[in-house]
Structure 1
Amino acid sequence: MTAPHNIGTAENPILLAAGGTGGHVFPAEALAAELLRRGHRVGLVTDTRGQGFGQNLPELPLYRIPAGTPSGRSAVGKLMSIVEIGHGVVSALTLLGLTRPVAVVGFGGYPALPLLLAAKLRKIPIVVHEQNAVLGRVNRLVARFAARIATSFPATHFLPEQAVVTVTGNPVRPAILAAADVPYTAPDQSLRVLILGGSQGARVLSDSVPAALASLPPEMKKRLRIVQQCRAEDLDRVRAAYTVAGIQAETATFFSDVAQRLAVAHLVVSRSGASSTAEIAVIGRPSLLVPYAHAMDDHQTANAQALAHAGGAEVIAQDKFTPERVAMAFNDLLADPAQLADMAAHARSVGRPLAAQALADLVERVATEHRRAAANAQSAAQDHSVKRTAA
């Protein structure tokens, strides 16, 4: 266990545990920022491999404890992972003894598991936050003994029957909140389409979208303004396809200003990870969603369907995302500005821009209950001691 700072014992902190992926890290950092704004002490916990957690909050202590990931490994690998998790639990117990937190918040991912198991052993209240419409594997393991479960979607699969659930939404980045102030404007002379494939890009989008757009009527192609994220190995062929089709397009492997580009888009084509769907809904933009076919427990399909049921998105499964099917969808959507505007309004109606505040409220309630219970127990113990002495 390592920590660059000692958060001290002047006030008991709240510890946040998350894996190294952006889907876990973004909401954890958003909650940390909100708790700091309210005057709480906060510590961040991840495993020894996570590199991204805490970079946006360098003033906070970051604790690293061992953790293993048994999923997708051989029998020997699974056994080694269990040993690593056990080692992590021992380290986490030491950390909890030193910091004495009033609550622990888990955001999923195996790096969070040792701290959550240790918190259970130490009888420290646990809040679980689930970003997807399907409870993740680690969150599923600890949900049955969590004090509260915070969900991003009203309907979340695999919740325990007796769970105490609060729908908070999924906290998004400050840039997204700022972009949410930009109202949706229906297409006029140009049709701006933003195509995002997740953190690693998505080859299926590079394979099908340029071909689909190339088959649209000439007058529509002239109005298109495309911005597309691609894998590095796909950039040249995607650019060439748009050039041959006479479509104005900007392509890159990464866009640092996604929030601003979302704000001016008339239509978004995207994977349906937790952060992507939350950001699309908060800003309020119509979308064509392509769930990643191999996502754990098919959670991206559940995320996409939640937005589609609200009327804010159309969903096409990856195995059906052919140029012909995509061209039909584009033709229907881009030719109907009123439908796009309706979808934008429906998407915004299920967005939760105050998710970080709602989650912080929930964590504060749990922490307050824990402090009160601890104070009552201490008072009762003192009363009992006084009575024994008097006797």
Structure 2
Amino acid sequence: MSARIVMAGGGTAGHVNPLLATAHELVASGCDVTVIGTEEGLEARLVPAAGLDLVTIPRVPLPRRPSAQLLTLVPRWRRAVDRCAEALAGADALVGFGGYVSTPAYRAAARLGVPVVVHEQNARPGLANRVGARRAAVVALTFASTPLAARAGRTQVVGLPLRPAIADLARRREDPDAARGAREEAAARLGIDPSRTTVLVTGGSLGAVRLNEAVAAAARDLPEGAQVVHLTGRGKDAPVREAIAAAGAADRWLVLDYLTTMEDALAVADLVVCRSGAGTVAEMTALGLPCVYVPLPIGNGEQRLNARDHVGAGGAVLVDDDDFTAEAVRTRVWPLVGSDRLVEMARASRDLGGTDAARALADLVIDAAEGRIRR
């Protein structure tokens, strides 16, 4: 059977990357894959670039306060559901990753009787997946502690589907010789010394001003023998370059605003300073990397919860955004560099990670499509 699978999700890299990783496995299994997204999200560029068909629907966020948008909500919602129903006609299964796109897709699937698989990436689920889980054939989780209600026996922990490049790096890191080779190759591409202990600082593609400012302000105290790869976010590199030059640390501090081959930065990292989005945490644990997490202090607190298991296992430390200052870098980050504790953190991180979530989720979707999971 060549199953026809529809996937729903988009907006941010946190939704698009696991969707694409799972789509890669589904296509490799002979499935025909269509993606439902919007014209505004990252999926508008990344899904076609991956060779997948994209069906766009109107973005229908629920207004948080009375506004003119509320008057048009019902007709816009109906148009989105109808458009999803057109994409789902003849589909064998829908897999949703949450966000604005998934809610109308779940409603259309219920109307058509198409089995649904929900994947929730965060430790605290969003509204779309809380709705979708009620009728789902199976709910797949990244974190075992995620409180997402589903019918008895319908919840499985699979982890977060990783981008192929990250999954490949994770496998290479399981073997010391392969890991050394990956590190040396990546260091050569980045133009840095593979023998130095390397701290990676990243706030994601958009960057994190708090991380940029605090770490750069502590540059003068960077431990001897260490180096930094600092990904500032697009357009946020100039102040960091100025601070590093003023501190006299430019010869050991690579500043980039964006890196298309993020796997290179991860291949050379010994310690990572970063936010704790679900995708980030999944990649860090899959790669066995010690982390200093600085959770984004907005939203519903999911970033702090995402980091909980990694921190609890001893593989990471957590510093609140308000507390992440230059002094915190001097007293809580730099002392880890080259320490016995960093070795212990790396060992604890390796014990947490998994690399086969995309394959496991794809198998669940195919099982639902072929009727092996009853609705």
Query: TM-score, normalised on structure 1?
Result: 0.84
1:38-57 equivalences under 5 Å are: 38-50=29-41, 51-57=44-50
- More displaced stretch, 183-192 vs 226-235: 183-192
User: Could you tell me how far 1:260 is from its partner in structure 2?
Assistant: 1.7
**2:301 equivalent to 1:298:** yes
- Partner of 1:87 in structure 2? 79
**CA deviation map 1:298-355 (0-9, x unaligned):** 111111222211221111110111211221112331151x321221222222212000
- Partner of 1:241 in structure 2? 243
User: Could you tell me how far 1:267 is from its partner in structure 2?
Assistant: 0.6
1:228 to 227, 230, 234: 230
Preserved CA contact (<8 Å) 1:143 1:163: no
User: Could you tell me how far 1:90 is from its partner in structure 2?
Assistant: 1.8
**Is the alpha carbon distance of 1:333 and 1:81 closer, same or farther for their aligned partners in structure 2, counting shifts above 3 Å?**
farther
- Partner of 1:267 in structure 2? 271
- Does the residue aligned with 1:176 lie in a helix, a strand or coil? helix
- Partner of 1:368 in structure 2? 370
1:210-225 equivalences under 5 Å are: 210-215=216-221, 220=223, 222-225=224-227
1:287-326 equivalences under 5 Å are: 287-294=291-298, 296-326=299-329
User: Could you tell me how far 1:162 is from its partner in structure 2?
Assistant: 4.8
- Partner of 2:206 in structure 1? 200
Aligned AA (2:154): V
Structure 2 gap segments, 5+ residues each: 184-192
- Partner of 2:54 in structure 1? 62
- Does the residue aligned with 1:177 lie in a helix, a strand or coil? helix
**CA deviation map 1:34-88 (0-9, x unaligned):** 0111112211111343323413422x32212233112546433244344312211
The 2-side partners of 1:344 and 1:71 are apart by 43
The 1-side partners of 2:346 and 2:220 are apart by 25
- Partner of 1:191 in structure 2? 197
Preserved CA contact (<8 Å) 1:213 1:330: no
Preserved CA contact (<8 Å) 1:149 1:163: no
User: Could you tell me how far 1:286 is from its partner in structure 2?
Assistant: 0.7
**2:27 equivalent to 1:36:** yes
- More displaced stretch, 104-113 vs 86-95: 86-95
Aligned AA (2:28): R
Query: TM-score, normalised on structure 2?
Result: 0.87
Preserved CA contact (<8 Å) 2:234 2:258: no
Preserved CA contact (<8 Å) 1:135 1:159: no
**CA deviation map 1:261-289 (0-9, x unaligned):** 11111111111112211111111111111
Preserved CA contact (<8 Å) 2:199 2:269: yes
Aligned AA (1:301): R
The 2-side partners of 1:168 and 1:257 are apart by 25
The 2-side partners of 1:48 and 1:55 are apart by 12
Preserved CA contact (<8 Å) 1:68 1:82: no
Preserved CA contact (<8 Å) 1:67 1:87: no
The 2-side partners of 1:371 and 1:211 are apart by 54
**2:371 equivalent to 1:353:** no
- Does the residue aligned with 1:359 lie in a helix, a strand or coil? helix
**Is the alpha carbon distance of 1:232 and 1:19 closer, same or farther for their aligned partners in structure 2, counting shifts above 3 Å?**
closer
User: Could you tell me how far 1:244 is from its partner in structure 2?
Assistant: 2.6
Aligned AA (1:261): A
Aligned AA (2:238): D
- Partner of 1:13 in structure 2? 4
Preserved CA contact (<8 Å) 1:176 1:279: yes
Preserved CA contact (<8 Å) 1:67 1:114: no
- Partner of 1:104 in structure 2? 94
Preserved CA contact (<8 Å) 1:102 1:367: yes
The 1-side partners of 2:282 and 2:270 are apart by 17
- Partner of 2:189 in structure 1? none
Q: Max radius of gyration: which structure?
A: 1
Aligned AA (2:168): A
The 2-side partners of 1:154 and 1:164 are apart by 13
- Does the residue aligned with 2:45 lie in a helix, a strand or coil? coil
**CA deviation map 1:98-138 (0-9, x unaligned):** xx111100011112221211101112111100111111121
Preserved CA contact (<8 Å) 1:212 1:327: yes
**Is the alpha carbon distance of 1:229 and 1:73 closer, same or farther for their aligned partners in structure 2, counting shifts above 3 Å?**
farther
Identity of aligned residues (%): 35
The 1-side partners of 2:281 and 2:373 are apart by 36
Preserved CA contact (<8 Å) 2:206 2:234: no
- Does the residue aligned with 2:95 lie in a helix, a strand or coil? strand
What is the aligned length? 355
Structure 1 gap segments, 5+ residues each: 1-9, 374-391
- Partner of 1:4 in structure 2? none
Aligned AA (2:210): V
Aligned AA (1:169): G
